[in-house]
Structure 1
Amino acid sequence: MATLSQVEIDAFLAEPHIARIATVRPDGRPHIAPMWFWWDGTSMYMETPPTSVKANNLRANPNCAIAVDITQGGLRFKAVILEGRAELIDDPEYAHATARRIYTKYLGEEGVQSPTPAQMINNPHVIIKLTPTRVITNDETRTGLAPIP
């Protein structure tokens, strides 16, 4: 199993991949949701409506895990998994600025000015901030393994 260096983690998380956040419902069942994100080299940020399932779950239990991964077919994949306790930030100005930064990562400056993204950015948000206590990485994209037909 090949691991990623911090420089490789930062480069990978700068790309517009989809993350999946896993939270725990009050009855103990898991909840997983695909999310856009922004990584600052130390923490991961995601935006969500204040009354979303994931926000409510994190208020009750801040423990979560986030997986970002890609596959190139067969056994050729790359993954970064972050674990820890999330912080919810509900300051409206901070949430708006962070949501815009996240949307810009995926849509570009011009894209966030389109009507639908512009409206979504202006909706109320809470920011999920995870500064991981554990980071797990794997990079099997360099192994030269052929995709499984």
Structure 2
Amino acid sequence: MTATQRRGRKIMMTTGEVDEFLTTQRTCRVATVSANGAPHVSALWYAWDGVSLWLYSVVRSKRWTDLSRDPRVAIVVDSGEEYEQLRGVELTGTIEFVGEVPRIGELCAELDTAEMLFARKNFGLDEMPHDGRHAWARLTPDKIVSWDFSKLGPA
């Protein structure tokens, strides 16, 4: 269940616009909480299936360590250079790990769609290559907040 966005209704994206935006963008920023309580933000490629954001992360990374200890996460996908071009989506919730860690390609029907979407978008392939260093984390967001400053019209 996704919470409704309350602020910025004038610039928020429709559900269809959010879906199109998350499907076409490539890089997200993942914010985690370190063991000492300090925030940590890192960039990562992802796949969006219309419901969940799928992260394919190196398992020997600070990001993976943080998420293994505390699965709460905030993720931002954004674009634009000029003020009137700024668009983005923030997704928050709790990560779930899916499949073997690290991923070596064992059959896992739950990963079929995510791996196909990720491989096509990021590698131009129909099948996901596995390197034994990465694994999957899924965020089905509790809350989605979006913005599209082009909806404000001319300055």
Please indicate, yes or no, whether the TM-score normalized by the shorter chain is above 0.5.
yes
State the SS of the aligned residue for 1:57: helix
Distance 1:72 1:78, change over 3 A: same
Aligned to 2:89: 80
Question: 2:111 and 2:92 mapped to 1: Cα distance?
Answer: 25
Distance 1:52 1:62, change over 3 A: same
Question: 2:18 and 2:116 mapped to 1: Cα distance?
Answer: 23
State the SS of the aligned residue for 2:122: helix
State the SS of the aligned residue for 2:151: coil
Aligned to 1:109: 125
Q: How does 1:1-149 map to 2 (within 5 A)?
A: 1=8, 2-91=11-100, 92=103, 93=106, 94=108, 98-99=114-115, 101-109=117-125, 121-145=130-154
Unaligned 5+ segments in structure 2 are 1-7
CA RMSD in angstroms, aligned pairs only? 2.4
Question: 2:125 and 2:31 mapped to 1: Cα distance?
Answer: 29
| 8 Å Cα contact 1:66-1:83 kept in structure 2 | yes
Q: What's the % identity of the aligned pairs?
A: 27
Give the TM-score, by structure 1 length. Answer: 0.80
| 8 Å Cα contact 1:72-1:141 kept in structure 2 | no
Question: 2:116 and 2:45 mapped to 1: Cα distance?
Answer: 11
Distance 1:59 1:7, change over 3 A: same
Question: 1:144 and 1:17 mapped to 2: Cα distance?
Answer: 26
* Aligned residue pairs, count: 139
State the SS of the aligned residue for 2:124: helix
| 8 Å Cα contact 1:47-1:99 kept in structure 2 | no
| 8 Å Cα contact 2:30-2:76 kept in structure 1 | yes
Question: 1:122 and 1:96 mapped to 2: Cα distance?
Answer: 16
State the SS of the aligned residue for 1:106: helix
Give the TM-score, by structure 2 length. Answer: 0.78
Task: Report which stretch shifted further, 87-96 or 100-109.
Answer: 87-96
Question: 1:107 and 1:143 mapped to 2: Cα distance?
Answer: 36
More helix by share: 1
Distance 1:107 1:143, change over 3 A: farther
Unaligned 5+ segments in structure 1 are none
